[in-house]
Amino acid sequence: MKMNIAVLPGDGIGPEIVATALDATIAVCEKYGHELTYKHALVGACAIDATGNPYPEETHKICMESDAVLFGAIGDPKYDNNPSAKVRPEQGLLGMRKQLGLYANIRPVSTMPQLIHKSPLRQDVVEGTDLMCIRELTGGIYFGRPQGRSEDGNVAYDTCVYSREEIDRIVRLAYTYAMQRRKKVTVVDKANVLCTSRMWREVAQEISKEYPEVETEFMFVDNAAMQLVQWPSRFDVMVTENMFGDILTDEASVITGSLGMLPSASVGLHTSVFEPIHGSYPQAAGKDIANPLATILSAALMFEYAFGLMEEGKLIREAVSASIDAGIVTVDIAQGEKSYKTSEVGKWIVDYIKNK
């Protein structure tokens, strides 16, 4: 198979972790005889420094010409405490989502037996957790207009906007995945307060009738946040709007014990983006200590979701699990005094793939 991917390392630890995932991708392609081509491109703070634009036109062109995008992270401390900055790295991420039509973020959250002890929750609470969070990405309050501040600067406002079409396509996607899993969908909203949430619930109720074999439940976002930490194994597929999804998926991520272990896929109208859920972790940038496993697992999702190559994705997962069993892991999940560098973990996984 011919595979053409865009490689967007981004900021902070992005270049280090994406390098390991790309190496694993190359190793899998060589093993299975796939023809891989790839191009690197700038996004985020590094793109602002180079071009003044966090998502340059050249980067967008490369993404549009690619079958999939392997993405690292964006963010730089020099923008965090500068609210007056007119251009910010995060605008690159939002711009990429909007221009590529990345309407659905898919985050699988499952516990690995070897790492249950790292979870902040009790073992009996997190055991058996296997859920999929589906977050709408291109609508809602992050993109709604109008937004801004009053002339005197003392009043600020944002607007949450959703169309029926935006809700319909994301809810249908949730049911599609539920049919492949345990046939349960939880629609998360705030329908007792928000008009947009009432529309979400209305559309979801209509669609649920087309899937009688799927159990559908509706849950207010505050209750969902509580139940995620009380009883995470009760969820199968959770679908929700942009801001609620942003918050809930980060909450769900700590169930596994490490942000460095969770991959994600953003399904788009033009192409799809595969990335770890963690941020750019600037404190660790250049130190070769960041956990690359979430990014490598994102490459596994890329093989499966973008190219339908399930065996290749399975091999990457197997290599990641084997590295944990062998104790070849970075400091954040190391069980003893011994830990390994980002590059060392990446090399071990590549060697496993080649020698399997």
Question: Which residues are part of the catalytic machinery?
Answer: 142, 190, 222, 246, 250
Residue 218, strand partner residues: 187
Between CA 293 and CA 330 the distance in angstroms is: 9
**What are the structure tokens assigned to 296, written together?**
């490598």
Residue 215, strand partner residues: 184
Mapped to the 3 state alphabet, what secondary structure does the chain carry?
CEEEEEEEEECCCHHHHHHHHHHHHHHHHHHHCCEEEEEECCCCHHHHHHHCCCCCHHHHHHHHCCCEEEEEECCCHHHHCCCCCCCCHHHHHHHHHHHHCEEEEEEEEECCHHHHHHCCCCHHHHCCCEEEEEEECCCHHHCCCCCEECCCCCCEECCCCCCHHHHHHHHHHHHHHHHHCCCEEEEEECCCCCHHHHHHHHHHHHHHCCCCCCEEEEEEHHHHHHHHHHCHHHCCEEEECHHHHHHHHHHHHHHHCCHHHCEEEEEECCCEEEEECCCCCHHHCCCCCCCCHHHHHHHHHHHHHHHCCHHHHHHHHHHHHHHHHCCCCCCCCCCCCCCCCHHHHHHHHHHHHHHC
Between CA 242 and CA 244 the distance in angstroms is: 6
Q: Residue 76 corresponds to which amino acid? A: D
Between CA 273 and CA 42 the distance in angstroms is: 15
Sole residue written with tokens 């969820």 = 235
**What are the structure tokens assigned to 355, written together?**
């020698």
